[in-house]
């Protein structure tokens, strides 16, 4: 069964600090892995998309890594800001069933001043 597990479930950090969110998956055959940011009351917004051959991708202060061998990904947030407070969702796409998406449970990040 395809699964995506994220850790931690929630995290509180001080403004200006860095943090790393983890994602482990058992999705096969693997197509791509995405990280989304979901603000409260909003729909998810894409941060990065990585295919099998990519092991790192950045979007501003967000850097995602992918290790396709160990089936792990991380999202690193640098110099956090209050606006980074949101849920971060790891989503893995499979070539099966028309690029079916498997969603992780998300990490709820709170950045405090």
Q: Which residues bind another protein (CB under 8 A)?
A: 31-32, 34, 36, 41-46, 49, 51, 89, 93, 98-101, 103-106
Q: Which is nearer to another protein, 4 or 19 (CB)?
A: 4
What is the nearest approach in angstroms of another protein to the Cβ of residue 91? 8
What is the nearest approach in angstroms of another protein to the Cβ of residue 16? 28
List beta partners, residue 87: 38, 108
What is the nearest approach in angstroms of another protein to the Cβ of residue 63? 19
- 3-class SS of residue 97: helix
Instruction: Decide if 57 contacts 50 (C-beta within 8 A).
Output: yes
Q: Which is nearer to another protein, 58 or 99 (CB)?
A: 99
Rounded Cα distance, 51 and 3, in Å = 18
Instruction: Decide if 9 contacts 109 (C-beta within 8 A).
Output: no
Q: Which is nearer to another protein, 18 or 56 (CB)?
A: 56
What is the nearest approach in angstroms of another protein to the Cβ of residue 105? 5
- In the block, tokens 């947030």 appear at 77
DSSP 84: G
């Amino acid at each position: 069964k395809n699964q995506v597990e994220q850790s931690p479930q929630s995290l509180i950090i001080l403004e200006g600090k860095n943090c790393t969110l983890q994602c482990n998956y058992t999705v096969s055959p693997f197509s791509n892995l995405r990280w989304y940011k979901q603000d409260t009351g909003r729909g998810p917004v894409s941060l990065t998309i990585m295919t099998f051959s990519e092991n790192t991708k950045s979007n501003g202060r967000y850097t995602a890594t992918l290790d396709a061998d160990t089936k792990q990904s991380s999202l690193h947030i640098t110099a956090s800001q209050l606006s980074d407070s949101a849920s971060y969702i790891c989503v893995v796409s499979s070539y099966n069933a028309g690029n079916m998406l498997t969603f992780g449970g998300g990490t709820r990040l709170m950045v405090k001043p």
